[in-house]
């Protein structure tokens, strides 16, 4: 009697975890293993049954000339959007952390509301704005004497157009994260700094930015995860075109799986994607945590 | 900790510093108005377009305020595609996800925050991994699994993969940890332990975290696109974002007033909620973000 009760208290914690663990196993852990397994099989419209073929799918990935473009697009997208988004977010957060009265709420709403819009809908807004003939953006650019840009139909400008849309959509969220970080900095620090006669830039350099270190680590990692998973905008705005100039990693996986029905190839890409993402996040956490020397 | 995100500081910490380099309040406001204006423009322009007659879309100078106002576009959109059904589907899916999420994450967070057991750290790490790898990262196997379960093209398929949440568990664990041990001891003496303690004491005390997580979950799944795109096929189970994408294909970019009316309708429910409860939303995203 007493021994069975003892057992029950021992397994009780695990029982609480069962629902979550079961679901996570089926939809997160097993898929990763399953992808790895599938990536070793040739499985496409030409094969009736999956055929084991070692690393053929991985080799095929690198033989595909489009893959190079896809990697370049994804990297350009990440390197282009993350710093600009962070800069805008930080700038707005610093300004909005001032005492501005009731109008502060309006600014905050104006910057944050794009977070509430579905990416797909944001893509639609952007398609309309970037319309070469009657779009608002070209209209205002023309006023400044800029010749008509074909935007989404132009090999050079399609990706920047998507990046601009993403920056507009995302910076407000990161601004809030920075605002939260700023509000955790004790006001006394600024007071004593001003007694010491520190000017604007030195306060920014020696108080604000260092104390925002942990927030920045979080923002960069979030930024990388979001920008590596960009898909909706590409799907709605360009379908990867023109000539794959906006084809990014997740879109390429989708294309291989559900347009070309090549699950083997798509799985190999998935495995590579997961590995690259985990390594990036791991390295960044390590690297940046060493540089974040102040603690809040 | 969470509540002080609301109150404005007594004085702007950098305010004097701004003056120091010749920046005064007016400059700050001008910059803020500029950025706010640019951010607001796309949505306002879409709203304006959706309320125009087709002829007024092509004007020499952009007509920001539609004249005359035409509500017919919305009627036309509803006639062309079952957006009402899409709305119902979206609500069912979003609520269905959130309800089960709260159940699974509350017991898991309870175990991780209040109970001691072997392997808890390793198991918790497994939960964290999911924060970095949502279903989208493993789209092919998830599609095959849902297919195997016979769930393709159903509303259930849109919900199941999100029922367990590493992120929610993480947030709730933090908040449960702040409840002092004494509460549990006192409750224990009154014969309130385990699940009853969790549901009658812990969860109500974690309400701010629950609200924050709920809002984030609702926004995330309301806006989801990739997963519905892969697993749904028929209008009967389509959500709003999918409905919009299909509408665009059907309309093939010909009539911007209709396309913008559809876009505005898809975004409207959340946008209205956000405008009404903006403080709650902003507070929630702030507190949940910083802790994550």
Q: Which residue of A has its CA nearest to B105?
A: A20
Q: Return the H-helix or E-strand segment holding A38.
A: helix A30-38
Average pLDDT (B6-25) is 55
Domain housing B58? 3-72
Are B54 and B83 in the same domain?
A: no
Are B94 and B26 in the same domain?
A: no
Greater confidence, A292 or B198?
A: B198
- Token duo for residue B10: 């007594």
Are B193 and B139 in the same domain?
A: yes
Are B173 and B125 in the same domain?
A: yes
pLDDT of residue A203: 78
Q: How confident is the model at residue B2 (pLDDT cuts 50, 70, 90)?
A: very low
- Nearest Cβ partner for A98 among B14, B35, B39: B14
| Nearest to A275, CA basis, from B138, B43, B232, B259 | B138
- Nearest Cβ partner for A190 among B13, B137, B138: B13
- Return the minimum-mean-pLDDT range out of A5-9, B182-186, B240-244: A5-9
How many Å apart are CA A39 and CA A257, to the nearest integer? Answer: 12
- Please list, in sequence order, all residues whose beta carbon lies within 8 angstroms of the beta carbon of residue B257, skipping any fewer than 6 positions away: B49, B50, B52, B53, B54, B57, B70, B73
Average pLDDT (B260-275) is 94
Q: How confident is the model at residue B143 (pLDDT cuts 50, 70, 90)?
A: very high
Helices of type H across chain B = 15-20, 25-50, 72-80, 83-114, 120-132, 139-148, 155-159, 166-177, 181-189, 194-197, 203-205, 207-222, 226-231, 240-251, 256-276, 278-291
- Per-residue model confidence as pLDDT tens digits over A141-190: 988 988 888 999 999 999 999 999 999 999 999 999 999 888 888 878 77
Are B112 and B150 in the same domain?
A: yes
Arithmetic mean of pLDDT over chain B: 85
Residue A5 has pLDDT above 60, yes or no: no
How many Å apart are CA B288 and CA B292, to the nearest integer? Answer: 6
Beta-carbon separation of B271 and A235 below 8 A: no
Greater confidence, A79 or A60?
A: A79
- Per-residue model confidence as pLDDT tens digits over B58-117: 777 888 888 888 888 999 889 888 999 999 999 999 999 999 999 999 999 999 988 888
pLDDT of residue A1: 44
Residue B43 has pLDDT above 90, yes or no: yes
Q: B235 CA to chain A: closest CA distance, Å?
A: 17
Residues of A in contact with B28 (CB under 8 A): 95, 98, 100
Are B100 and B61 in the same domain?
A: no
Q: In the 8-state DSSP scheme, what is residue A52?
A: E
Greater confidence, B13 or A33?
A: A33
- Return the minimum-mean-pLDDT range out of A284-288, B3-7, B123-127, B206-210: B3-7
- Per-residue model confidence as pLDDT tens digits over A219-231: 898 899 889 989 9
Q: In the 8-state DSSP scheme, what is residue A146?
A: P
pLDDT of residue B13: 56
Residues of A in contact with B244 (CB under 8 A): 118, 120-121, 124
Task: Give the CATH number of the domain where residue B179 resides.
Answer: 1.10.3720.10
Q: How confident is the model at residue B194 (pLDDT cuts 50, 70, 90)?
A: confident
For chain A, give the percent of residues with pLDDT over 90.
Answer: 46
Are B64 and B135 in the same domain?
A: no
Are B22 and B104 in the same domain?
A: no
Are B99 and B190 in the same domain?
A: yes
Domain closes at, from B39, B72, B105: B72
Distance of CA A152 to the CA centre of its chain: 21
- Token duo for residue A145: 């004497």
Q: Number of Cβ pairs closer than 8 Å across A and B?
A: 308
Greater confidence, B35 or B5?
A: B35
Are B38 and B117 in the same domain?
A: no
Q: B73 CA to chain A: closest CA distance, Å?
A: 16
DSSP E strands: which ranges in A135-187?
A: none
Residues of B in contact with A227 (CB under 8 A): none
Are B50 and B88 in the same domain?
A: no
Residues of B in contact with A131 (CB under 8 A): 256
Backbone angles phi, psi at A51, to 5 degrees: -115, 125
Domains and CATH numbers, chain A: 65-291 (1.10.3720.10)
Residue B49 has pLDDT above 70, yes or no: yes
Structural domains in chain B (count): 2
How many Å apart are CA B254 and CA B257, to the nearest integer? Answer: 9
Greater confidence, A46 or A254?
A: A254
Q: In the 8-state DSSP scheme, what is residue B59?
A: -
Domain closes at, from B29, B50, B72: B72
Are B190 and B55 in the same domain?
A: no
SS3 content of chain A, % helix, strand, coil (to 5): 75, 0, 25
Domain closes at, from B72, B102, B117: B72
Q: Does B219 touch chain A (CB under 8 A)?
A: yes
pLDDT of residue A47: 72
Beta-carbon separation of B245 and A120 below 8 A: yes
Separation in Å, CA B23 to CA A77, B19, B30: 34, 5, 11
pLDDT of residue A195: 77
Beta-carbon separation of A117 and B39 below 8 A: no
How many Å apart are CA A207 and CA A201, to the nearest integer? Answer: 10
């Amino acid at each position: 009697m007493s021994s069975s009760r003892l057992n029950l208290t021992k397994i009780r914690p695990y029982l609480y975890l069962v629902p979550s663990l079961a679901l996570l196993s089926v939809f997160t852990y097993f898929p990763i293993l399953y992808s790895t397994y599938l990536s070793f099989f040739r499985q496409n419209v030409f094969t009736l049954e999956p055929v084991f073929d070692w690393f053929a799918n991985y080799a095929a990935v690198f033989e595909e000339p489009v893959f190079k473009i896809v990697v370049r697009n994804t990297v350009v997208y990440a390197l282009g959007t993350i710093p600009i988004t962070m800069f805008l977010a930080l700038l707005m957060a610093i300004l909005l952390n001032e005492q501005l009265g009731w109008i502060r709420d309006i600014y905050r709403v104006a910057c944050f509301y794009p977070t509430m819009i579905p990416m797909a809908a944001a893509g639609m807004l952007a398609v309309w704005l970037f319309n070469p003939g009657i779009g608002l953006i070209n209209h205002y650019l023309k006023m400044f004497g800029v010749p008509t840009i074909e935007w989404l139909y132009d090999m050079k400008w399609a990706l920047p157009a998507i990046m601009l849309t993403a920056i507009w959509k995302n910076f407000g969220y990161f601004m809030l994260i920075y605002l939260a970080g700023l509000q955790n900095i004790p006001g006394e620090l600024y007071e004593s700094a001003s007694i010491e006669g520190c000017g604007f830039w030195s306060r920014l350099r020696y108080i604000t930015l260092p104390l925002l270190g942990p927030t920045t680590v979080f923002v960069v990692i979030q930024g990388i995860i979001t920008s590596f998973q960009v898909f909706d905008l590409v799907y709605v705005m360009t379908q990867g075109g023109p000539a794959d100039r906006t084809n990014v990693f997740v879109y390429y996986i989708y294309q291989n799986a559900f347009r070309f029905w090549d699950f083997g190839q798509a799985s190999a890409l998935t495995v590579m994607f997961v590995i690259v993402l985990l390594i990036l996040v791991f390295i960044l956490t390590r690297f940046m945590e060493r540089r974040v020397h102040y603690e809040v | 900790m969470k509540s002080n995100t609301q109150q404005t500081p007594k004085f702007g910490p950098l305010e004097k510093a701004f003056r120091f380099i010749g920046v005064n309040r007016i400059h700050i406001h001008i910059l803020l108005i500029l950025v706010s204006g640019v951010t607001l423009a796309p949505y306002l322009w879409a709203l304006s377009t959706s309320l125009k007659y087709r002829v007024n879309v092509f004007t020499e100078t952009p007509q920001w305020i539609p004249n005359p106002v035409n509500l017919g576009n919305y009627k036309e959109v509803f006639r062309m595609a079952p957006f009402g059904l899409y709305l119902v589907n979206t609500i069912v899916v979003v609520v269905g996800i959130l309800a089960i999420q709260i159940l699974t994450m509350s017991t898991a967070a309870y175990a991780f925050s209040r109970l001691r057991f072997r392997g808890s750290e390793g198991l918790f790490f497994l939960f964290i991994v999911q924060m970095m790898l949502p279903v989208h990262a493993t789209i092919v196997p998830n599609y095959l699994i849902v297919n195997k379960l016979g769930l393709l093209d159903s509303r259930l398929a849109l919900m199941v993969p999100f029922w367990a949440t590493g992120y929610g568990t993480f947030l709730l664990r933090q908040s449960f940890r702040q409840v002092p041990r004494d509460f549990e001891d006192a409750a224990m003496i009154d014969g309130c332990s385990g699940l009853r303690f969790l549901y009658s004491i812990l969860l109500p005390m974690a309400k701010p975290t629950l609200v924050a997580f709920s809002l984030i979950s609702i926004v995330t799944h309301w806006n989801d696109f990739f997963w519905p795109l892969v697993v749904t096929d028929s209008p009967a189970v389509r959500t709003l974002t999918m409905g919009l994408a299909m509408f665009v294909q059907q309309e093939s970019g010909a009539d911007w007033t209709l396309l913008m009316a559809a876009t505005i309708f898809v975004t409207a429910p959340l946008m209205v909620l956000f405008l009404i409860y903006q403080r709650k939303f902003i507070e929630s995203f702030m507190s949940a973000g910083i802790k994550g």
